[in-house]
Amino acid sequence: MVNSCNLDHTLDDVKKKLADQRPFLLPTTVEKCSQYLTATQSQKNLNELFHLLKKYDLASDEEREIRNQKLNVFFQK
């Protein structure tokens, strides 16, 4: 989705990335992401979510808006 990566990211990887990026994310996004991660997710979804969160803090405002939109769509799956 965001990035081509050959690594499979574990649930713990995604939770750690969420914790790292929490100060930079909208509170509603953090809540939706936390709830999403309580259910069993496919490896593909874990990888996609990891890459949407990765380096969110370093993204421009425009890139953050794009990622926010992608995250909203992602949580509607």
State yes or no: pLDDT of 77 exceeds 80.
no
Alpha helices in the chain (DSSP H): 11-21, 27-36, 43-53, 61-75
64 three-class SS: helix
The tens digit of pLDDT for each residue in 24-71 reads: 999 999 999 999 999 999 999 999 999 999 999 999 999 999 999 999
pTM for the full predicted model? 0.88
Give the amino acid at 42: S
